[in-house]
Structure 1
């Protein structure tokens, strides 16, 4: 059985998720696991997918970065799959598909996983350098505090007797943000 896994990092990347799903179905995947979550967050659908696959199945993903967050993560996933007798197929691997059923495929996936992690780490270093330079020039303000923009709604809901947990759920912010806003007394 071909089992597909698709992931995008944010909820507003719907087109990317739909494209992955379309490709996976065209490849012949009969079961799809999809999620909208950052690779560093808890990936519940990936866990469910790894639990679902059985001996003889093949897990299919569009690209390596949709599956693993680091080389160590990739190797752990491959080890889990191999332990269950499941192969991994990556559809877009530098313009060609790669499959871990062969030793050469496993080597290529491992090498490219290491290169991908290296590139991510270099990008993070460049980003930190850019931020430091922008700060030194007084141009960096950081990410806008999204929860604080919801302070008026937090106060309105709290005034009507809605509990902090419910406020957090309704406004899709953390409970600690609700408490922080309430303790600051911001009604901005």
Structure 2
């Protein structure tokens, strides 16, 4: 039986240190982390690896439920996958575990709250953008990576993993930027190997 920690933040400029320290303090011998949105399971390779690694009696630990996911169905699917492996899910704040039936019910309710919270955040963000546009002060979001450097590295034959590490972003982000550029301008440069 092992305690296995999972930490997640949504963007590359957010800090994982607090979550990692808490998971270590809780006795997690293995901890995986990633910087990717919790809105869906897409691109969350570290979480997928952890779930595959789970053995009967193991415990997947997260600091808060929204670190596991912000969509109720995704959270319940993760809990179900852990159940299939005879493993448990534990949320530290507030403390909830799927070891008992009550914990599963609470986890479902918390998942619904996390999804609602995400919806409210998006609505407030949209209202703020609409208001800024109406006042003529909206300039759009700032790009988080140097796209010129990304394209230069790709055209020089560097692999996606090397580009992502150099720019401090995920491989999925590099793939997305390159795919959007190709669709928009017909760029046809080939990428080197993923390493």
TM above 0.5, one fold?
yes
Q: Deviations over 1:23-58 (max 9, x none)?
A: 111111111111122224510000000000011111
Q: Quick check: 1:60–1:91 contact (8 Å CA) kept in 2? A: yes
CA distance in 2 between partners of 1:69 and 1:182 (Å) = 35
Match of 1:163 in 2: 155
Distance 1:114 1:176, change over 3 A: closer
Consecutive unaligned residues in structure 2, runs of 5 or more: 168-173, 188-195
Match of 2:170 in 1: none
SS at 1:140's partner residue? coil
Please provide the CA RMSD for this pair.
2.9
CA distance in 2 between partners of 1:129 and 1:4 (Å) = 36
Q: Quick check: 2:32–2:47 contact (8 Å CA) kept in 1? A: yes
Distance 1:85 1:150, change over 3 A: closer
1:132 matched to 2:135: no
TM-score by length of 2: 0.75
Q: Quick check: 2:9–2:35 contact (8 Å CA) kept in 1? A: yes
TM-score by length of 1: 0.78
| Max Rg structure | 1
Q: Quick check: 1:71–1:117 contact (8 Å CA) kept in 2? A: yes
- The equivalences for 1:41-120 within 5 A come to 41-93=42-94, 97-120=95-118
Aligned length, in residue pairs? 172
Distance 1:167 1:80, change over 3 A: closer
Match of 2:178 in 1: 175
- The equivalences for 1:18-57 within 5 A come to 18-40=17-39, 41-57=42-58
